[in-house]
A and B are shown apart, each in its own frame.
Chain A
Amino acid sequence: MTQLLLFNAFNGLIQGAFYALMALGLALILSLNSVINMAHGGFLVIGAYLAYVFAPYVGFAGAIVLGPLGAAAIGMVVERVLIRPLYKRPDPLYTLLLTFGLALVIQDLTRTIWGPTGLPFEVPQILASPVSTVFFFITGYRLLVVALVAVAVIGLFLLLRRTPLGIRIRAGTLDLETVSALGVNIYMLRALNFALGCLLAGLAGVLAAGVLGLTPPMGNSLIMPSFVAIIVGGVGSLVGAILGGLLIGLAAGITTTFYPAASEAVIYLIMLIVLVVRPRGLLGHEGLFE
C-alpha cells in the first residue's frame, strides 16, 4: 500500500511538473501579452513532434533542445502575424477566440501529417530502466524530467531577475506604457515573451512525449489543468503557477490510489475550494486582471 501510494504520488509530481511548465508559459503570456493562449497545448504538441522528427538526426539530447526551440520559433511567427494586430483591442475575447481557432488548426494538421494513432518517442535504454528494484517506478528518464524542469524553472527566474530582457518583461507586466516611453521596443519585447512561453510549452511537450507517447490531442489533456494551476496559484504570480501545478498534480496522483474515477475531478474541486477560501488564489494579488 505504501509503495502504491508512493508510486502514485511520484507519478502525480511528474504530471504536476508538466502542469507547472505549461502554467509558467501561460502565465508569462497572460501577464505581458494579455492573451489567454488556448493554443498553448498546440505549441506543446509542436515541440513534441518536432523532437520526434529531429531525434534520428541529432540524437535524443539534441531533440530535447531543438524541439522546444522550434516551438518557440513558430510561436514568434504566430505572435507577429496573428496576435500583434489584436493588441489594440483591449477585450481578451478576440485573442481567446483566435488562439482557440489556432489550436484546432494545429491539432488537425498534426493528425493529417503524422496520423491519428500514437507514436512512440524513443528514450535511450540507459534512461528507461528503473534505478532500483524496490522503487521500480523511478526510472532515469523520470529523474531527468525532474532535473530538467528544475533547471528550466531556475533558468527562467535568473532570466527574469538578472538580465535586461527579464527586467523589462517584469516592468512591462506592471506598466507597459511607461516601459514603452522609456524607449524599449515593446513589440519586440512581447514577441520574445510569447516565444519564451512557447519554449516552455515545447519543453513540456518533449518531456511528456517520453512518458505518455505522442498523440495529436496530447495538448488538450494538459492545458486545462494548467489553467487550473494558474487559478489555484493566483493569476499574476509565477511562483504561484509552479506551486499550483505541483499541488494539483500531487493531489490527482494521490486520489488515483484511493478512487481512480475522481482523479481528474479532484483538480477542479481543489480549484473550487481555493476560490471560495481565497478568491484570488494562493499567491494572487488584489485587483490584477479584473
Chain B
Amino acid sequence: MMRDERLWMALGWIVLALAPWWLPWLGGYSALGTKVLVYGLGVMALNLLLGFAGGLSFGHAAYFGLGAYGAGMTLKYLAPSTPLALLAGTVVGGLAATAFGPLVMRRRGIYFAMITIAIGQLLYFVAVRWNEFTGGEDGLAGFSRQPLHFGGWVLDIRDENKYYYVVLVCFTVAAWIMRGVLRSPLGHTWVAIRENRRRAEFLGVRADLYIWAAFAISGTFMALAGALNALLFNFTSPQDLHWILSGDFVIMIVLGGMRNFWGPLLGALIYIVAQDYLSSVTDNWMTFIGLLFMVIVLAFPRGILGLLRRRGKAAA
C-alpha cells in the first residue's frame, strides 16, 4: 500500500514537471497549468480545515485575496522583490486567519459556516471601498513579478514556463509540509475532533485551540496560493475575496474528494479546465457551473477519489 502510494506520487510529480511540454499539445497553455497548481494548493490548504478538522469554512477566499493584495501591494509600494512579495502576502493572510480564528473556533456546522462567510464579506468591502490604496472595484494593477536573483545567477520568471516551475516548487514544499502536519499528532487530533468532538474533549483535548490552529495554518497556505495567483496575472481584484470564490473552493474539494489529501488537487484540475472551456464556448457558463454543483452534490457526494476508492475496495 505504502509503496504503491509512493509510486503514484513519483509518477504524478513527473507528469507535473513535464507539463509545459505536454500541455500545449493537448490544447492548453502553461498559465492554465500554473492556475491549476495555485488553486490546487489553496484548496488542499482549505481541506486541512474542511476535510480533516471538520470546520465548514465558506469564507476562505478572504485569505486567498489578502495574500494576493499583500503580494501586489508589496511589489507596487514597497520593493520590487518577488520573494518578499510572496512572504508578505502569506504573512498578511496568515495573521488575519489567526486573528479571526477565535471568533469561530467554538462554533460548529451552520454557525461556523455563516460566520466565516460574513468575515469574508467584511474584508471584501474593505478592498472595494478603500479606493486610493486597493484600486477599489477595478482591482489592483501596476505591479509585475520580478526576476529572481541567486547570487550572480538570474532566473527571469517573467517567462510563463519559468514561473510555472517557481509555482511547482512552492506547491511541492507546501504540500510536503501539510502532509507532515497531517501525519503529526496535531493532524490526528484534528481527525479525532472531526469524528467526535465531545469525546475528544472528554479525553482532555482543547478542541477549540486545535480548530484555531487548523484555521490559522489553512489560512496561511491559502494566502500563499493567493500571492502566487496575484503574481501569475500581475493583477488582483476584490473578486479574489468574494464569497463566490469561497464557494468555488469548496466545490473543488467536494468534487475531488474531501477525505483524501490529493483529492482537492484533482477537483481543482477538473473545475478550472471545465470553467476555462465553458467560458470560451458559451455565454451561459454560469448556468453550467451551477448545474455542475448540483450534479456533484446529488450524484457524487464522496468525490471522484472517494468513488474510485470504494470501487477498489469492492473489487478487492
| CB–CB B114/A235 < 8 A | yes
| CB–CB A104/B125 < 8 A | no
| CB–CB B298/A279 < 8 A | no
On chain B, the number of residues with a Cβ less than 8 Å from chain A's Cβ atoms is 43
CB B133 to nearest CB in A, in angstroms, measures: 12
**How many A-B pairs with Cβ below 8 Å?**
123
| CB–CB B111/A290 < 8 A | yes
| CB–CB A275/B115 < 8 A | yes
| CB–CB B129/A235 < 8 A | no
Instruction: Say which one of B20-28, B35-43, B166-174, B282-290 lies at the interface with A.
Output: B282-290
Q: Mark A93-117, 1 if CB is under 8 A from B, else 0.
A: 1101110111111011100100000
Q: Determine if B251 is an interface residue (Cβ-Cβ < 8 Å).
A: yes
Task: Say what secondary structure dominates the interface of chain A.
Answer: helix
| CB–CB A101/B301 < 8 A | no
Q: Which of A100, A235, A264, A272 contacts B293 (CB 8 A)?
A: A100
Q: Mark A30-59, 1 if CB is under 8 A from B, else 0.
A: 100010101000000000000000000000
B-chain residues with CB within 8 Å of residue A231 when the two chains form the complex: 114-115, 118
Q: Determine if B149 is an interface residue (Cβ-Cβ < 8 Å).
A: no
| CB–CB A272/B122 < 8 A | yes
- Chain A contact-residue range equals 35 or more
A-chain residues with CB within 8 Å of residue B106 when the two chains form the complex: 279
Q: Which of A38, A265, A290 contacts B126 (CB 8 A)?
A: A265
| CB–CB B114/A268 < 8 A | no
Q: Determine if B15 is an interface residue (Cβ-Cβ < 8 Å).
A: no
Question: Which of chain B's residues has its CB closest to A289's CB?
Answer: B110
Q: Which of B114, B128, B244, B286 contacts A227 (CB 8 A)?
A: B114
B-chain residues with CB within 8 Å of residue A108 when the two chains form the complex: 284, 286-287, 290
B-chain residues with CB within 8 Å of residue A272 when the two chains form the complex: 103, 119, 122
Q: Determine if B247 is an interface residue (Cβ-Cβ < 8 Å).
A: yes
A-chain residues with CB within 8 Å of residue B129 when the two chains form the complex: 261-262, 264-265
Question: Which of chain A's residues has its CB closest to B251's CB?
Answer: A97
CA A268 – CA B126 in complex, angstroms?
10
B-chain residues with CB within 8 Å of residue A92 when the two chains form the complex: 56, 109-110, 113
CB A122 to nearest CB in B, in angstroms, measures: 29
| CB–CB B286/A105 < 8 A | yes
| CB–CB B287/A105 < 8 A | yes
| CB–CB A275/B110 < 8 A | no
CA A52 – CA B119 in complex, angstroms?
34
